Homo-oligomer: A and B are copies of this chain.
């Protein structure tokens, strides 16, 4: 069955929360409580979890460790993804050091930057290559996912070089520009100004 994107998004939130509850030695938690902690309706929580089988106990709730393992199994890939980060500017470097990019699900195997002073160096333990060599390095290393932190005007060029390697399957882009990719490459976007604009819009229009 196809799982909806909003559900996957919340699964990650459940996963984090359960990790925390586990650390607090909590044994059991109800959909009601999960909902309160994450700002969701209890029925939403139950519906999400029900897509993956009956995991709770009626009259009791969800066993924290069991649910944690369960969601972990749903979210985990069957292998280690190989990732490259393109654009080692301030944002790129900040992300490299950021908790979000530490995971046992993937490894950052290469950095790319158009600044030839950066090429050849090792940053946060990851070798940096010149952007000109992107196609070959990505192909050679079998990189499947790109994290794009280049300026908007460099985004499409970078993507084209990466796609040319033939190994690419997904892109997480922080660039504001629209990028075009083959149908079989999945793109997710993190757009800081869009989020800020939305916040200000709804603040202006007298609240949510």
Contact = CB atoms under 8 A, between A and B. Distances in A.
Interface of A: 3, 5, 8-9, 12-13, 16-17, 37-39, 75, 77-78, 81, 89-91, 93-95, 97-101, 103, 105-106, 144-145, 147, 151, 169-172, 176, 178, 184, 186, 188-190, 192-205, 207-208
Nearest to A16: B176
Contacts of A3: 201, 205
Nearest to A20: B177
Given A16-B176, A93-B90, A198 B203 contact: no
A120 to B, nearest CB: 23
A198 B8 contact: yes
A192 B193 contact: no
Contacts of A91: 94-95, 98
Contacts of A195: 172, 188-190
B13 A194 contact: yes
